[in-house]
Structure 1
Amino acid sequence: MTPSSRPESLPDPKFLTIAEVATMMRVSKMTVYRLVHNGDLPAVRVGRSFRVTEEDVNEYLRKSFFNAG
C-alpha cells in the first residue's frame, strides 16, 4: 500500500524507542524490554532496536488500570 492509497482516516502510526516508552511510562528501559520479550507489549524489530507504536503503549496502559479497594 502506498502512502497515497492509504485511507485518510488511518494516520501513520507514531513509533517510539524503548527509551521513549520507558520515559512515557515512568519505568526503566529493562522493564519495557521485559514487556516486549514477554509479548505483553507489541514491538517491531528494526535492525538491532525495537520500536513500539504510541497506540500500543496507550492500549497497554488502558488494560493495566485496576480499581483498588
Structure 2
Amino acid sequence: MNGIISDDIITVDEMCEILMIGKNMAYRLLNSGEIRCFKISREWKIPRKSVYEYIQRQCSKKGDEDKVH
C-alpha cells in the first residue's frame, strides 16, 4: 500500500491506543457513525483524520459544558 495512504488509515487497535479506549467502545463509536470509517471485507478502515475530528468535537463539548456552570 502507498505510504501516504497507509499512514492516513488506521486499524481499530490503533484507534483504541490513540483514544485510550477498549474495543467495545471503539466499535460503538464506529457503528454509531461518531467516527467516520468504512469496511473492506470484514476489516474496518478508519481515516486517522476522523479520529482527530472526534477528539476535537469532544473537546468542544467539554468547553461548552464548562461555560454552563
Q: Provide TM-score, normalisation by structure 1.
A: 0.75
Equivalent in the alignment of 1:47 = 41
- CA-to-aligned-CA distance 1:8-63 (integer Å, 9 cap, x gap): xxx64710000100011000011110001111111110110101111000001000
Q: Give the total of aligned pairs.
A: 59
Confirm whether residue 31 of structure 1 aligns to residue 25 of structure 2: yes
Tell me which protein shows more helix as a share of its residues. Answer: 2
| Identity %, equivalent residues | 19
Which segments of 5 or more consecutive residues in structure 2 lack a partner in the other structure?
Answer: none
After superposition, the CA RMSD in angstroms is: 1.6
Consecutive aligned runs of 4 or more in structure 1 exceeding 3 Å deviation = none
Distance 1:29 1:53 in 2: 17
Alignment partner of 1:52: what SS? strand
Alignment partner of 1:61: what SS? helix
Distance 2:16 2:53 in 1: 15
Which segments of 5 or more consecutive residues in structure 1 lack a partner in the other structure?
Answer: 1-10
